[in-house]
Structure 1
């Protein structure tokens, strides 16, 4: 907590002392026995010489007070008498300097964060990574240890998700219940992404990629299915798949009375509609809309729908040729497919499309890594090009 009784420092003095506090903390973390580097104020372009005479003189007194306090040491010019210029400042005691500035050291903030987040460290390995990063003076998504309250709120959200496995929850309803603020969860995206993601260094995911993966949705979504046959339901009459498609509650599905030779999951709604129309009069395939990143409820319904299909059925996924599209495929492979089934790419090789939008090499790397994660090693050498699936001409698989 800031001590309101401390004197208001000159802007340049505050900047120099904060610079020294940072250097002192970094030396402490590194374990080096050498003294921190001085703030050299001799150059004419330094912050010190950018001040007018009166401001420099006012700051001199504050620097001398900091020296008397034991927080820093300072060096002065040989010439000039009482007005001799300040040449350098170096931290002497990190804790005293932080006290003088009215702020907590990183070590103090970290101690508070560790104490308040301790209850979750065993359940969430990513939290330990966050705490270790803070210990090394690294921010996580721009957040320092003093942001621990937001991480605690994100952990409460994850607890609520874990308590209802395989189900979706309406995000603003859950947010209102947990925080009396219907939009609070949507303000916790960086924290939720890190805590539920692949690691601190992984590329940030999009809003709904994070939320839907956790089962946090705007509203409950039906499982949209195109093809022929009958969807077996847990309650009520079974549902015949009519043209162009039907929608059912994922948790109500218990199976499928049909034997399609292939199943195609599609990321985007527009393309799903086109595929559903094109499937008319064909009985060999099943097309299912993922709604972007598949949610836990969707996964439960899809597994129930396809779990008893013949082992000869081939599973394909068609999504955008971008990081999100390949991440969706990776999630499908990891959690949604029947045991022992490998997901196959459908129209997701940009080299066969003859066009694409250039992306940065880092994004290209993320795309290729996600493709390899699915098991699509043949796509691990893709060029750094992206393409939305709506830009690709519709084509459906043929019977095997």
Structure 2
């Protein structure tokens, strides 16, 4: 009977939040709910069918000696006033309620966390699993993820374990969902939000990325290697791609630009770029388009960088860098702001010889009147960048930004190409 489970679960919830649970023997107060104070709002005594169903359940529970009840006096029909648990029959109450005692639930969740921790290798996943197991082991109640129930939690751990197995090629979100649940939409509908909350809290690179970039859930997942659809990588210049099916030469499209998908990247055997002596990575799409139309040289490869590199795009960029002649010059052109500095730093990890282009103090001074005003919090964060060794190349630039109290978007430079 649903009324029996509802009554017992409401009382057991109260018990698990009481001194009887946290400090057994300390309190002599009843674990009690009152129908008149929203302790049991479902008990609509004016509706005869509802009242009779609940009254039958209450009598059944009294007969089983798991609860006690007090009825309102002077009523023609019995109306319950309050209910309280028989603390000497808790085991029976849990059984009838269809739930495990709280400590048993905590122990089960801890065991699942520790077992998965032994099977995964991704650092931020291990950090989450270890931290949660430690937190739960001393908890006196369940909250957050655990309030959603063991089935949801098991599904979440399933997603985390499958994510740990992903290789650099990543996977589409629907394929990932099928691999986890045999249902192409289950992950996005039911698990994605909790998955991303964990990644943001324990994955340092994603957390750092989001400190300056406003990314949608799908963009965040793509950064982690789970993408809604294949990414498109645009470039222009004397580049030929060799696959097992042959060689495709893109050189004749240099003035217009061309693209490959992220899925195609994993079929590349070799990149031919023998005459390239400079590679220009451009963050902004409009600037990329204008540059290849107005300023592109025959001996340079121009790559649309876009935002922060996903694992798939990192692979493509790494393929380009490893195929360049030794004398190749690498340039990065981005917004003169925190995001641009972070993107430069990420790319420099792949191309140690990378140098910034049009991102100096001279550009700040020249375009200051067209700069973007920032709040004091942003400028303080910008000032903290001066102390980071990786930002030494931007020291004069940052000082100029602080002086003029602006940041510079690269679009304002389009007329000077």
TM range (shorter): 0.5 to 0.7
Paired residue for 1:206?
A: 216
For residues 200-239 of structure 1, what are the structure 2 equivalents within 5 Å? 206-226=216-236, 228=237, 230=239, 236=247
The two structures have a TM-score, normalised by structure 2, of: 0.60
Query: Is 1:41–2:34 an aligned residue pair?
Result: yes
Query: Is 1:103–2:99 an aligned residue pair?
Result: yes
Query: Is 1:22–2:32 an aligned residue pair?
Result: no
Paired residue for 2:44?
A: 51
Give me the whole-angstrom Cα distance separating, in 2, the residues matched to 1:194 and 1:272: 34
Give me the whole-angstrom Cα distance separating, in 2, the residues matched to 1:24 and 1:327: 54
Contact 2:233 2:304 in 1 (8 A): yes
- Alpha-carbon deviation of 1:154? 0.7
Paired residue for 1:264?
A: 282
Contact 1:333 1:342 in 2 (8 A): no
Change (3 A) 1:178 1:89: closer
Change (3 A) 1:338 1:231: farther
Query: Is 1:298–2:313 an aligned residue pair?
Result: yes
- Bigger proportion of residues as helix: 2
SS at match of 2:234: strand
- Alpha-carbon deviation of 1:138? 1.5
Query: Is 1:315–2:332 an aligned residue pair?
Result: yes
- Alpha-carbon deviation of 1:151? 2.0
What CA deviation, in whole Å up to 9, does each residue of 1:208-234 have, x standing for no partner?
2243223334554453124x5556868
Paired residue for 1:127?
A: 129
Structure 2 alignment gaps of length 5 or more: 403-408
Query: Is 1:146–2:151 an aligned residue pair?
Result: yes
Give me the whole-angstrom Cα distance separating, in 2, the residues matched to 1:176 and 1:47: 41
- Alpha-carbon deviation of 1:288? 1.7
Contact 1:222 1:250 in 2 (8 A): no
- Alpha-carbon deviation of 1:119? 4.2
- Alpha-carbon deviation of 1:194? 4.3
Query: Is 1:190–2:193 an aligned residue pair?
Result: yes
The two structures have a TM-score, normalised by structure 1, of: 0.62
Give me the whole-angstrom Cα distance separating, in 2, the residues matched to 1:66 and 1:350: 76
Bigger Rg, structure 1 or 2 = 2
Paired residue for 2:257?
A: 245
- Alpha-carbon deviation of 1:326? 5.2
What CA deviation, in whole Å up to 9, does each residue of 1:283-327 have, x standing for no partner?
78834244x6633221012133346687984534459x9xxx959
Counterpart selection for 1:66 from 36, 61, 76: 61
Paired residue for 1:361?
A: none
- Alpha-carbon deviation of 1:259? 4.2
Contact 2:255 2:296 in 1 (8 A): yes
Give me the whole-angstrom Cα distance separating, in 2, the residues matched to 1:44 and 1:51: 12
Change (3 A) 1:29 1:111: farther
Q: Which moved more, 1:292-301 or 1:244-253?
A: 244-253
